[in-house]
Structure 1
């Protein structure tokens, strides 16, 4: 990295007095040394917290299971922890690393803000506590044979889920080609009216809560990417819940604060609807949220390999979904009126 004036060739003027001795290298000021120590202690504390999660000393948060679009690929690559300070080159001031907040790319942050504005102008769901949220989608999941080899994407099929609005009644999952799967009652689930209402609508506070929720259980395993876990958790809430407009807007703005989130200009959902996507890559695959480019409505999700390997060549779609219907019904198994 060039840290001085850029030079292209030997254009320096000779000094008749001869070359000057190199300048003395100043030591760390007490203030700078204290800042570096504070940054180091902060990183060590964060590492200790992760170790506590891995050791199972923190009670894991409860999450409603949902089949992910890719269920068979290797775990995400471990994130590296680096300790250091940010120095403003060419000035006498330094900036402590703790004041620098990594976020999504500027393009992704702007797009997610527009999506949040559209979501915030939506109508609150007309849903009673004794009803069910019905979500119908089209999905296809990738799978590998027991012996390994490329991932094979199953045909796109119908998926229907009925979730108790207040969590006190058993729900139902129905996927084409398989038997019905009862979903247990869970009043404490994040997807209930109360669970969603308990989430903050300030994007920073919301992201902090989501990070806390996904910090236990298998999420805290070695090699887990905490930013990807947060991105996936927000995706889960977008897919099969019916969030109030203010919370929906906050979810998108929270995603805009996750490092590594980028824009994919052209993407499509499981039924071929074209759109623009915001995405994040981890462990050789990219999770994409696809949106209507005109209305900014959420269309679905897609997972694409970003590295060639045993699972297939780079660019292979290994999971896809499309949300078609979201409605309130009175009973599990009941279809909404057309």
Structure 2
């Protein structure tokens, strides 16, 4: 069972246990999820981990956890094609308009010696168990920048910044977070393993030995091999995510979101991904004035199968670019009523002349 499945199972239990017990168990579970998913981590050999974002999945976002290269199978006849008319009419209109805007908006030109800078800022949750056995949790922010060279087979640079609790966090939470940072910087981190903060370098963007992907099974350098026909593209996505999670629709949407938010997918493929998302049943407009890190766009999302939350991508309707993402609670959780944005990530791209 992977972190996605664990998290969904956890969510499905909400409401069947006392709030205090549930909150305590959720903090422990998310800490275990994050620590066990670190490259090379071994139980008992790493420091307590910060809680990972509460997301359905984050496979290829350049400035989050290292992307896994999952090999997709050959397309076969029994492609799972969920029944239904596709996204709501409102969502389909937004997505198709985004596709058109994407084609009109030229991809940034990265000249020799320059870099495409992909900058992210995210708000997530953190937590750990104190020495007395009590649980401490908080919200925290983290930033990161990936520098992609003009020659994408060249050396990519990834600056991973430390996670910092919000100023509104309790003194106990700030102290716990500081202890985590201290442990990460100390010898308690597994010997020989890349640390989760600081400068990372990798030829071709293969951080932690994993090549960047467009969708599952298709490395970035093979983006041209994917069909631009929306239905054909969606069929490939359904096949490669077959059996994952609790819903083929949610898995397909997440796969598309993963590709769109990387900042490196060519415009014609971004347009095809938007149009493919418009064919997925259950996709809807969540908010026409969604604001993430000071920028406003249209939130398009899909509810989790249990109806507990919705994952959105936030699209700039003018440029057709994904400017961020968010997770919105659709049910009341202990301390977090329905409608709460539990996590968000902003994505900004620019062309720069140098990298760290």
| TM-score (normalizing by structure 1) | 0.58
Alpha-carbon offset, residue 275 of structure 1 = 2.2
Q: Which moved more, 1:111-120 or 1:192-201?
A: 192-201
* 1:115 equivalenced with 2:98 (yes/no): yes
Cα distance in 2 between the residues matched to 1:130 and 1:209: 36
Cα distance in 2 between the residues matched to 1:75 and 1:300: 15
* 1:279 equivalenced with 2:298 (yes/no): no
Cα distance in 1 between the residues matched to 2:290 and 2:323: 9
Q: 1:210 to 1:154 in 2, by over 3 A?
A: same
Could you tell me which residue of structure 2 aligns to residue 136 of structure 1?
A: 119
Write the deviation string for residues 184-214 of structure 1: whole angstroms up to 9, x where unpaired. Answer: 4656843755321111110011111222333
Match runs of 1:26-105 below 5 Å? 71=52, 73=54, 101-105=84-88
Q: 1:154 to 1:179 in 2, by over 3 A?
A: same
* Structure showing greater Rg: 1
Could you tell me which residue of structure 1 aligns to residue 316 of structure 2?
A: 292
* 1:253 equivalenced with 2:275 (yes/no): yes
Alpha-carbon offset, residue 168 of structure 1 = 4.2
Alpha-carbon offset, residue 263 of structure 1 = 0.8
Could you tell me which residue of structure 2 aligns to residue 323 of structure 1?
A: 347
Q: Which moved more, 1:128-137 or 1:101-110?
A: 128-137
Write the deviation string for residues 77-131 of structure 1: whole angstroms up to 9, x where unpaired. Answer: xxxxxxxxxxxxxxxxxxxxx9964300111011111111111122245358998
Uncovered stretches (5+) of structure 2, i.e. residues with no partner? 1-38, 40-50, 58-80, 163-196, 202-206
* 1:180 equivalenced with 2:199 (yes/no): yes
Cα distance in 2 between the residues matched to 1:258 and 1:149: 40
Cα distance in 1 between the residues matched to 2:324 and 2:53: 20
Give 2:329's match in structure 1, choosing from 305, 317, 320.
Answer: 305
CA contact (8 A) 1:150 1:311 kept: no
* 1:162 equivalenced with 2:147 (yes/no): yes
Give 1:226's match in structure 2, choosing from 248, 273, 283.
Answer: 248
Count of matched residue positions in the alignment of Structure 1 and Structure 2: 237
Match runs of 1:237-252 below 5 Å? 237-252=259-274
Aligned Cα RMSD in Å? 3.6
CA contact (8 A) 2:54 2:124 kept: no
